[in-house]
Amino acid sequence: MTNDITFFRRFQDDIISGRKTITLRDASESHFVVGQNLRTGCYEDDAYFCTIKVTNVTAVKLSELDEEHARQENMTLVELKQVISEIYPGEESLWEIAFSVESVD
């Protein structure tokens, strides 16, 4: 079975523990809907590690990111903006996908 969404392996523990409760994505991943359960895998090898439930999907600009976004990502605001600029260079329009962990296998 294929995964619906992937995260870099370095975020796996934060997701499973509930320390990371949002992800910021570009428009190519803006199609998720509230209530949807997503099989979640590691970006590096697509290995499944949990199922998350989408609790909110909101458009957000890079310039609007604040300390609350950083807290939900379990990093500082400086770290968050750096990570986003590395993953989505030059992208200003993002999608905040809030989630909760449904199950861990």
Concerning whether 21 is annotated as a catalytic residue, the answer is no
Concerning whether 91 is annotated as a catalytic residue, the answer is no
Query: Of 6, 20, 21, 96, which residue is the catalytic one?
Result: 20
What single-letter amino acid sits at 82?
A: Q
Rounded to two decimals, what is the model's pTM?
Answer: 0.93
Give ∠ CA 43-46-49 in degrees, rounded to 5: 95
Concerning whether 23 is annotated as a catalytic residue, the answer is yes
Q: What is the chain's pLDDT, residue by residue, as a tens digit (105 residues)?
A: 889 999 999 999 999 999 999 999 999 999 999 999 999 999 999 999 999 999 999 999 999 999 999 999 999 999 999 999 999 999 999 999 999 999 997
CATH of domain 5-104: 2.30.130.30
